[in-house]
């Protein structure tokens, strides 16, 4: 079923992204891409580019909530290198065939599942490493984030969070905040370089309103769930969304 009304399409994208955002704090990109392909008729290059817009709005809203955990020197380095590589990677995406983008996206999804169930450890207290070490390692993570955000539309958070916790050795909540701020700033750079920031005001409002309303509703509902079942619910939800995204994008490849 195709949705021919653009405002309705972006309202659906916003609502779906908001549900995932409210439950898991991230994941807007991975749900928006299959929706844009299935309901909007976009190919994978277009969907991954437009998905950055949902990612931008969702990351910005989520960062506002978690901003107290931000380490700003690390975020500045991440933004600098991620923004630069997002800018430079856009011509590569234009030249790359669709199947290459598809493989990049699905390889990132596979790593996201591995990260979700194996690498991400919210209870890890991190380590008090020297600032110079943290900035050097964050710069490499920023390069990866910028490249992936352009090529896949997933923002790179699935890579940068385990990188920041496992390599840079900051706490999980700090990594999440730094990642969200980085994505909120660099994702629109990538979308702009791909010429995909051409939504009308009404479409932007539909996207933003959908994300805001559904994320707030879900966040309110999750307050009635105890912490341990909630963590499991978040993991299972993100896993399901990632698998759906892989099935939809791989079907286009095959």
Per-residue pLDDT tens over the stretch 29-47: 788 999 999 999 999 989 9
| pLDDT tops 90 at residue 153 | no
Per-residue pLDDT tens over the stretch 219-249: 888 888 888 888 788 788 888 888 988 898 8
119 pLDDT tier (thresholds 50, 70, 90) = confident
The answer to whether 53 touches 196, Cβ cutoff 8 Å, is yes
Q: What is the pLDDT of residue 11?
A: 95
CA–CA distance, 204 with 10 (Å, rounded to integer): 8
> What is the percent of the chain with per-residue pLDDT over 70, rounded to a whole number?
98
| pLDDT tops 70 at residue 76 | yes
Q: What is the pLDDT of residue 92?
A: 92
User: Nearest-CA neighbor of 151 among 32, 40, 49?
Assistant: 49
Rounded to two decimals, what is the model's pTM? 0.87
Q: ∠ CA 215-210-178 to the nearest 5 degrees?
A: 50
Q: What is the pLDDT of residue 222?
A: 85
Contacts of 50 (CB under 8 A, 6+ apart): 32, 36, 40, 42, 153, 191, 196
Q: Provide the residue count of the chain.
A: 254
CA–CA distance, 88 with 68 (Å, rounded to integer): 31
Q: What is the mean pLDDT of residues 130-141?
A: 94
Residue 162: helix, strand or coil by DSSP?
Answer: helix
CA–CA distance, 237 with 91 (Å, rounded to integer): 34
Q: What is the pLDDT of residue 236?
A: 87
Q: What is the pLDDT of residue 200?
A: 94
Phi then psi for residue 96, to 5 deg, are -70, 140
Q: What is the pLDDT of residue 62?
A: 86
| pLDDT tops 70 at residue 27 | no
């Amino acid at each position: 079923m195709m949705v021919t009304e653009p405002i309705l399409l972006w309202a659906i994208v916003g609502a779906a992204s908001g549900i995932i955002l409210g439950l898991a704090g991230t994941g807007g990109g991975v749900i928006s891409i299959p929706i844009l392909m299935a309901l909007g008729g976009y190919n994978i290059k277009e969907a991954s580019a437009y998905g950055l817009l949902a990612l931008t709005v969702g990351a910005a809203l989520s960062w506002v909530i978690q901003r107290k955990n931000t380490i700003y020197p690390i975020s500045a380095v991440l933004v600098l290198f991620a923004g630069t590589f997002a800018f430079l990677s856009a011509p590569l995406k234009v030249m790359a065939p669709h199947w290459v983008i598809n493989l990049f996206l699905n390889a990132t999804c596979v790593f996201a599942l591995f990260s979700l169930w194996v690498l991400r450890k919210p209870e890890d207290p991190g380590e008090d490493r020297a600032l110079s070490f943290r900035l050097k390692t964050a710069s490499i993570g920023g390069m990866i984030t910028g490249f992936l955000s352009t090529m896949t539309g997933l923002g790179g958070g699935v890579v940068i969070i385990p990188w920041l916790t496992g390599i840079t050795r900051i706490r999980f909540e700090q990594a999440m905040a730094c990642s969200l701020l980085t994505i909120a700033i660099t994702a629109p750079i990538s979308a702009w370089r791909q010429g995909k920031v051409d939504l009308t005001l009404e479409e932007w409002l539909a996207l933003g309103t959908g994300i805001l309303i559904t994320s707030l509703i879900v966040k309110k509902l999750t307050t009635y769930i105890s912490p341990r079942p909630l963590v499991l619910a978040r993991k299972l939800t993100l896993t399901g969304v990632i698998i759906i995204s892989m099935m939809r994008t791989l079907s286009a490849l095959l």
